[in-house]
Amino acid sequence: MNREVKYFAYGSNLNISQMISRIGTWKTAKRAFLKGWKLTFDKYASTWRGNAANIKKTIDLDDKVFGVVYILSKEKFEVLKTYEGGYKPIPIKIESEGKVVEAITFVTTEGEAKKPPKKYILIIEEGLIQHGYNKELVTEYLQSWKD
């Protein structure tokens, strides 16, 4: 019986400090991306006093959401779920290290997309860089959501 969950993070859970404060440690984390989806900020989060990250399926396989796949124990994944108010876990297929991998991520029904609070976008930016993403790629990826 598999006691691990592959969790794809694309929002503030990319940030290592936030993940440590939420669940402690994890087995591993690797860069990954999701094809045919787009990053959006269409879910109001009172914690951030503004819109938080969400993803939306598109028909264009050139669309990508960059993130990280964390290998978590099932118990730690259950703890993480308690922070995802209004978001539902769904199965997805991501690419990591040249392989297609099945994982779980969180999505919610869409509201109106708005620019997220500056502090929130900086948490995501820092998380992507912490996991080894190139700063230029990160800047370009998040540019349309920055003030």
- Please report, for the chain, the start and end positions of each structural domain, with discontinuous segments joined by +: 4-145
44-90: per-residue pLDDT in tens?
Answer: 998 899 999 999 999 999 999 999 999 999 999 999 999 998 899 99
Instruction: Bin 36: left if φ > 0, else alpha if -120 < ψ < 50, else beta.
Output: left
Rounded to the nearest angstrom, the gap between the alpha carbon of residue 24 and the centroid of all alpha carbons in its chain is 17
Task: Just give the CATH number of 4-145.
Answer: 3.10.490.10
Task: Note the pTM of the prediction, 2 decimals.
Answer: 0.95
CA–CA gap between residue 64 and residue 146 (Å, rounded): 18
Tokens of 123: 């948490």
Q: What is the mean pLDDT of residues 7-13?
A: 98
| Residue 110 or 59, more confident | 59
> If you compute the radius of gyration of the chain from its CA atoms, what whole number of angstroms results?
14
Band the pLDDT of 147: cuts 50, 70, 90.
low
